[in-house]
Structure 1
Amino acid sequence: MSVVAEVSPDGKKLKISVKGRFDFGKHQEFRNSYERIEPEPNSYELDLKETTYLDSSALGMLLLLRDHAGGDDSDIRVVNPNSDVRKILAISNFDKLFDIT
Structure 2
Amino acid sequence: MTIETKVTSDGAAVTIYIRGRFDFSVVNQFREAYEAHKQKKHFYIDMRQTEHMDSSALGMLLNMRSYLGSDAIKIDIINCSPGIRKILEIAKFDKKFAIS
> Does the alignment reach a TM-score above 0.5?
yes
CA contact (8 A) 2:48 2:78 kept: yes
- Residue 22 of structure 2 corresponds to 22
Work out the number of aligned pairs and report it: 100
Gaps of 5+ in 2: none
Deviation at 1:71, TM superposition (A): 1.4
TM-score (ref. length: structure 2): 0.93
- Residue 3 of structure 1 corresponds to 3
- Residue 78 of structure 1 corresponds to 77
Runs (4+) off by over 3 Å: none
Deviation at 1:34, TM superposition (A): 1.1
Q: Give the aligned CA root-mean-square deviation in angstroms.
A: 1.3
Structure 2 CA distance, aligned partners of 1:89 and 1:72? 20
- What do the CA deviations read for 1:70-92 (whole angstroms, capped 9, x no partner)? 11443010001101100100000
CA contact (8 A) 1:69 1:75 kept: no
